[in-house]
């Protein structure tokens, strides 16, 4: 009987709810020793910081490893494999490994990396979980708009692919064993059906679709799928196969903005909401320093939906720097976004 350590790959577009799902998983892991590898797009790590701030029992900070040097699917050899080896060579190796890929990553090259000899003998991919932003799928955010694609192609002869959002969506769900239709709390029956239809239209393999809010899925369902995905790559079609799995991060870009102390969250929100709309910003996230508050403010924006909450007290000696990561399709007008958000 093999005693390979199971690993779960969590994929899904920017802001779909991957970190929320993992937080919920860790909180309900009932003492199971889970190591978490987090990869983010953009040079500033926010997700890892948020999970660490939860101080989840049984998940000490040293079990959370952040890979911030690029998209995990393109840096497997440099980043991911050495990290895995360090985890596996610990005196007490993890009982389960969870990998949160960046919202722009292709899961398949990562799954393929589990066939590397040093990893293959000790770990198996128990399952690939794709988290889908239900309301965004229902609104057709990941569907190709034929007119827009034609216009893009007309404007640039080199562009021979579908919209980058649609391609990622298709690759992510078609690598999955379990698809989490997240943000159910924001969907009525019609929206849920539209989201499921959007998934089924592109899904080319059998995968269970499970609705959830904030990724709250019983760990007994998430873990222990037993897929052995590294042995089953052929049933996981990818757009990027023909391109040697290369994919174009140049379709997206990210930058960060340093922000001074706020008098109140509203001071920023009033400027942020119209700026997100005007520049079609896909994702904003980060930490802010609010005058008179001992706690750090987390700000999370997915499209035009923005949330904020205080997560933990600033620590003694910690610089109370406000910083937001901004992600969008290539061509973001950084200067005018910075000007619009200047305080
Ligand atoms: N209403 C609602 N909000 C959600 C749900 N799941 C996540 N969110 C919110 O959506 C935002 C993004 O959630 P994350 O869990 O950080 O998403 P992510 O996929 O990890 O994001 P990236 O790592 O940036 O790609 C946060 O503000 C969450 O609170 C949900 O089921 N319902």
Domains belonging to the chain, first-starting first, are 5-247 (3.40.50.300), 250-340 (3.30.1220.10)
Is the Cβ atom of 307 under 6 angstroms away from ligand 1? yes
Is the Cβ atom of 18 under 6 angstroms away from ligand 1? yes
pLDDT at residue 97 greater than cutoff 50: yes
- Token pair recorded at residue 18: 């991957």
Ligand 1: atom nearest CA of 186 is 1
pLDDT digits (tens, 9 = 90+) for 1-43: 458 999 999 999 999 999 999 999 999 988 889 999 998 876 6
CA 38 / ligand 1 centre spacing (Å): 15
What's the pLDDT at 240?
Answer: 75
Is the Cβ atom of 66 under 6 angstroms away from ligand 1? no
pLDDT at residue 150 greater than cutoff 80: no
pLDDT at residue 191 greater than cutoff 70: yes
Helix orientation angle between 189-202 and 164-173, rounded to the nearest 10 degrees: 80
Q: What is the rounded average pLDDT for all residues in the chain? A: 88
Radius of gyration of the chain (CA): 20
Q: What is the ipTM of this complex?
A: 0.99
CA 79 / ligand 1 centre spacing (Å): 25
Spatial distance between the Cα atoms of 126 and 5, rounded to a whole number of angstroms: 9
pLDDT digits (tens, 9 = 90+) for 159-186: 445 688 898 999 999 999 999 999 999 9
Percent of the chain with pLDDT over 90: 66
Q: Measuring from atom 9 of ligand 1, which residue has the nearest CA?
A: 17
- Token pair recorded at residue 215: 């990724």
pLDDT digits (tens, 9 = 90+) for 80-95: 888 999 999 999 999 9
What's the pLDDT at 67?
Answer: 82
CA 36 / ligand 1 centre spacing (Å): 17
Is the Cβ atom of 103 under 6 angstroms away from ligand 1? yes
- Token pair recorded at residue 104: 């722009």
On the CB side of 125, CA atoms within 13 Å amount to 25
What's the pLDDT at 62?
Answer: 78
Higher-pLDDT residue of 110, 145 = 110
Give residue for tokens 């797009």: 41
Q: How far is CA 71 from CA 105, 123, 157, 291, 317, in A?
A: 6, 21, 26, 35, 31
pLDDT digits (tens, 9 = 90+) for 207-264: 999 999 999 999 999 999 999 999 999 999 988 765 555 666 668 888 999 999 999 9
Q: Measuring from atom 12 of ligand 1, which residue has the nearest CA?
A: 15
Label the pairing between strands 283-288 and 322-329: antiparallel
**Of the listed ranges 35-39, 74-78, 282-286, the one predicted with least confidence:** 74-78
What's the pLDDT at 107?
Answer: 92
Is the Cβ atom of 23 under 6 angstroms away from ligand 1? no
pLDDT digits (tens, 9 = 90+) for 114-135: 999 989 999 999 999 999 999 9
Ligand 1: atom nearest CA of 14 is 25
Is the Cβ atom of 213 under 6 angstroms away from ligand 1? yes
């Amino acid at each position: 009987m093999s005693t390979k350590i199971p690993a779960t790959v969590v994929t899904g577009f920017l802001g779909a709810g991957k970190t929320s799902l993992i937080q919920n998983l860790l909180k309900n892991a009932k003492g199971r020793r889970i190591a978490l590898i987090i990869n983010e797009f953009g040079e500033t790590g926010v997700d890892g910081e948020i999970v660490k701030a939860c101080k989840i029992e049984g998940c000490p900070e040293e079990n959370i490893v952040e890979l911030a040097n690029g998209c995990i699917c393109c840096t497997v050899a440099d980043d991911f494999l050495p990290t895995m080896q360090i985890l596996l060579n610990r005196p007490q190796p993890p009982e389960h490994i969870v990998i949160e890929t960046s919202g722009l990553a292709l899961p398949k090259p990562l799954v393929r990396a589990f066939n590397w000899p040093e990893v293959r003998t000790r770990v198996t991919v128990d399952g690939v979980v794709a988290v889908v932003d239900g309301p965004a799928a229902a609104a057709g955010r990941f569907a190709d708009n034929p007119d827009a694609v034609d216009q893009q192609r007309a404007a640039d002869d080199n562009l021979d692919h579908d919209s980058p959002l649609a391609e990622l969506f298709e690759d992510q769900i078609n690598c999955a064993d379990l698809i989490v239709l997240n943000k159910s709390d924001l969907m009525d029956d019609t929206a849920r059906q539209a989201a499921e239809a959007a998934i089924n239209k592109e899904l080319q393999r059998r995968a269970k679709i499970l609705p959830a809010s904030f990724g709250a899925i019983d760990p007994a369902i998430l873990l222990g799928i037993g897929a052995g995905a590294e042995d089953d790559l052929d049933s996981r079609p990818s757009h990027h196969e023909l391109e040697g799995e290369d994919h174009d991060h140049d379709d997206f870009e990210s930058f960060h903005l340093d922000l001074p102390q706020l008098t109140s969250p509203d001071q920023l929100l009033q400027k942020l909401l119209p700026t997100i709309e005007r520049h079609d910003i896909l994702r904003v996230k980060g930490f802010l320093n609010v005058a008179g508050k001992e706690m750090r403010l987390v700000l999370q924006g997915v499209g035009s939906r923005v949330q904020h909450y205080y997560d933990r007290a600033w620590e003694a000696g910690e610089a109370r720097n406000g910083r937001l990561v901004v992600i969008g399709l290539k061509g973001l007008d950084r200067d005018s976004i910075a000007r619009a958000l200047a305080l």
